[in-house]
Amino acid sequence: MARCAALLLLLLAASAAAAAAAAGRKEKAGEKVCDKGWECSGSRFCCNEAISDYFKAYQFEELFAHRNDAQAHAADFWNYQAFITAAALFEPRGFGTTGGKEMGMREVAAFLGHVGAKTSCGYREAPGGETAWGLCYNHELSPSQSYCVDSNELYPCVEGVEYYGRGAIPIYWNQNYGIVGKGIKQDLLNHPELLEQNATLAFEAAIWRWMTPMKRKQPSAHDVFVGNWKPTKNDTSSKRYPGFGATMNVLYGDAICGQGSTDKMNFIISHYQHYLDLMGVGREHSGDNLDCDDQVAFNPSSENSDF
C-alpha cells in the first residue's frame, strides 16, 4: 500500500513537471527560468517580449520610408530581418527587453534614432521631411583621410586598408574597428569593409556599441537609457543624468555634447522622437534629460579618437 502511494506521488510530480514545461517555464533553485520563445540560456530577460513581438516589419518600413529610393546611396542594403537577427543576439542581455514593453519600444526607438540620424541623407525640404531618410548610407562617401593611428600597437593599421566611417552607427579609426571586431568576433581590423557588405553585421556592431561601455567604470548607452546607471557625484557635477541625452554622450562625447543646443544634437533627438511617434509610443514619452547640451563628455576627444 505504501509503495502504491509512493508511486502515485511520483506520477503526480512527473505530471506537474510536464505541465510546467508545457507552459514554457520550469523551476530552478527557487527561481522561474523561462525556456519559451527565443534562445536565452536562462537570462532574466528570457520571459520578456522579444523585439519582433512589438516591432514589426511594417513599422521598420515606416521609420525608414526612403531607404530604397533611387536617391539613397545604400538602396537595397538595409532590411528589417537584418536588424531583428542582430538584435536577437543582444535580447538576452536586455536590449529591447528591459523594463517592460513600453521601455523596450522606447529603447528600440532610441537606438534606431541614432542609426537614422547617422545614416541620413535627409534635409528639411526632402519628401517626408528630414527624419524620413535614415539608412540612406552604409559608409562614408568621400573620406577626408584614412583614419589610421600608427601609434596604436594593439590594433595597428593594416597596409592598404582605410578606416573611414562604415556601419549603422559609423565606426572610424583602426583601434575602434579592432575593439568592435573583437566584441562581435569579426576581423574588422583587416576587413572593415564587412560593415558595408553585410547589413546584419553592421547592425550587430552598432548594437554591441550600444550595449558595451567603452571604458571601465563607465556606463553603456543601454544602461544610461533604461535606468541601470546611477550617476556619481562627479557625474551630477558634470551634469550627466540618465536619459537619451546621456546616450549621445556615451557614443559621441564632446563631438555632440557640451556644445550648447546645436543642430547636430537636435537632429539626433528629432529622429528619436519621430520614431517614438511612428511606433505608437509618442514623443511625450521621450523621458527626462533629453539633450546633452551642457554635459561634460565621459571621454573627451583629447583623450580618445572618436568612433
Residue-wise pLDDT for 279-302, tens only, equals 999 999 999 999 999 999 998 885
Residue 43's pLDDT band (boundaries 50, 70, 90)?
A: confident
C-alpha cell at 254: 564632446
Q: What is the pLDDT of residues 71-86, one digit of tens each?
A: 999 999 999 999 999 9
Q: How far is the CA of 192 from the CAs of 2, 120, 137, 202, in angstroms?
A: 70, 21, 15, 10
Specify the amino acid at residue 10.
L
Domain chopping of the chain, boundaries: 46-135+198-285
pLDDT interval class at 25 (50, 70, 90): very low
pLDDT band of residue 29 (cuts 50, 70, 90) is very low
Decide if pLDDT at 6 tops 90.
no
Phi and psi at residue 13, to the nearest 5°:
-65, -40
Question: Residue 305: how many CB atoms within 10 A of its CB?
Answer: 15
CATH fold of the domain at 46-135+198-285: Lysozyme (1.10.530)
DSSP-assigned letter for residue 28: E
**DSSP codes, 22-63:** HTTEEEETTEEEE-SSS--TT-TTTTSPPHHHHS-HHHHHHH
As a whole number of Å, the end-to-end CA separation of the chain is 74
Residue with cell 593599421: 157
CA distance 6 to 301: 71
